[in-house]
A = this chain, B = another copy of it.
């Protein structure tokens, strides 16, 4: 399995327009930092690109790279947002981590970034 953390980009093909791109990735897994046990989530991303767009295959590899890492729900959702914002500097971005039931409780974390 490739383990790149590099998010590749390509130039926004319609840079003058405010439009939205959305991804839904139901195949996300990481490890619980306390117990080492696997966690699973669907990651949803929506953003309005500025000059750069996220390349789909590198996004897949980026999300796979969490497979062997310890990550709390709240922290990992914010980190994905920070990493993607760092890579494509969007006008707006929303990341949602929708995690499977633990202890009879389902958790969803939603974090948003808006360009100053």
Contacts and interface: CB of A to CB of B under 8 A. Distances in A.
Report how many copies the assembly holds. 10
Given A1-B37, A25-B105, A105-B56, A14 B111 contact: yes
A79 B16 CA distance: 13
A19 B110 contact: yes
Interface in A49-72: 49, 53, 56-57, 59-60, 64, 67, 72
A29 B104 CA distance: 13
Interface string A5-34: 000000011100111111111110101000
22 contacts: A1-B36, A1-B38, A13-B74, A14-B75, A14-B111, A17-B78, A17-B112, A19-B78, A20-B109, A20-B111, A21-B107, A21-B108, A21-B109, A22-B110, A24-B106, A26-B104, A27-B100, A29-B38, A29-B40, A38-B64, A56-B73, A60-B103
Given A19-B77, A23-B108, 17 more contacts: A1-B31, A1-B35, A13-B72, A17-B111, A19-B109, A20-B110, A21-B107, A21-B109, A22-B109, A24-B105, A24-B106, A24-B108, A26-B100, A49-B74, A53-B74, A56-B107, A102-B104
